[in-house]
Amino acid sequence: MKYFNGFAFFMVVVVSHTIGCTKDDEELPKVKTHDISEITKTSAVVSGEVISDGGNLITQKGICLSATNTEPTINDVTSEEGDGGGSFSSYFGWLDPETTFYARAYATNSKGTGYGSTLTFTTLKEPGQSSVFIDPRDGFTYRTITYGNMVWMMDNMKFLPEVVGPDLIGFTTPMYYVYGYFGTDVISARQEINFSEYGVLYNWAAANSACPPGWHLPTDEEWEALLDFFGGKEFAGGRLKADYFGAWEEPNTGATNESKFHALPSGKLSIDNIFMNQGTNAHFWTATGFSASKAVSYELRHDTIGVIDSLTNIGNGYCVRCVLDNP
């Protein structure tokens, strides 16, 4: 009988020992890597959360980061976000542009370190060389900049062969407007502060002929490529907007102008004959038509970090940026 009990006891010990191995694993912290945000050419923010402390005090938590190790550990670059549980975010600056990084959350207690899943991100590209271009048609000078294999103008077009007031709306006939100007004299219109600051507003017919020889109105695909260069539609607006004081009405959400695109809130002329949105919105035509009455346009706003694409009535007066034909 003793032997039986001993055997039974022995079996319990074995089973208990097996369960104990699992317990050791469970005593490590459980961590989740949440997301990566605010990616720029040299920085990013990575967030995580301690789901469980494993029954032991968390002595340190943070993010592990590496450009070479696909499963980074605390032996790689780490942030330190203090002890205890809960959610946290880590800012990483001075990263290399155009580089893929691997990141995951970690937490350490007296039993060891637990890790979350690995997330990847790629820092943005550096804008290329800037230059200037003089329009042979009227002598106006435009700053230009290279993004990858594209060369864009950094200023809104000012080509103004004629001008009309907002009471005249055109759909197939080219129409040229200066925000707030109601006359028809080109010389007077060029003296307007809105002309020097924001350039000309074009209906779509005029926009398609606004760019000088060797340049063209960008297509929807070229606008998409520009936005992708700066993190996509969700983030690129802030990186395209001018960020100096007074450039946009507050809050000018996320504006950094790290793209050097210098987007300004030039407003628009609506098909209801109203100048509107100056100070809060920038509206740009693309060369991509959708129907007999609509074309694709892009919009930046003072209170959002993203960029909005939409199908717009071709009678509206919007701004134009030009792209070099053969960079």
Per-residue pLDDT tens for 23-52?
Answer: 455 699 999 999 998 888 889 999 999 999
| CATH 2.60.40.10 in the chain, residue ranges | 29-122
pLDDT digits over 247-306, tens only?
999 999 999 999 999 999 999 999 999 999 999 999 999 999 999 999 999 999 999 999
Instruction: Supply the pLDDT for residue 128.
Output: 79
pLDDT score recorded for residue 25: 53
Give me the pLDDT at residue 286, please. 98
* Mean predicted lDDT score pLDDT of the chain: 91
pLDDT of residue 165: 98
pLDDT beneath 70, residues of the chain: 1-26
pTM of the model: 0.72
Please give the CATH architecture assigned to the domain spanning 29-122: Sandwich (2.60)
Q: What is the 3-state secondary structure (H, E, C) of the chain?
A: CHHHHHHHHHHHHHHHHHHHHHHHHHCCCEEEEEEEECCCCCCEEEEEEEEECCCCCCCEEEEEEECCCCCCCCCCEECCCCCCCEEEEEEECCCCCCCEEEEEEEEEECCEEEECCCEEEECCCCCCCEEEEECCCCCCEEEEEEECCEEEECCCCCCCCCCCCCCCCCCCCCCEECCCCCCCCHHHHHCCHHHHHHCCEECHHHHCCCCCCCEECCCHHHHHHHHHHCCCHHHHHHHHECCCCCCCCCCCCCCCCCCCCCECCCEEECCCCCEECCCCEEEEEEEEECCCCEEEEEEEECCCCCCEEEEEECCCEEECCCEECCC
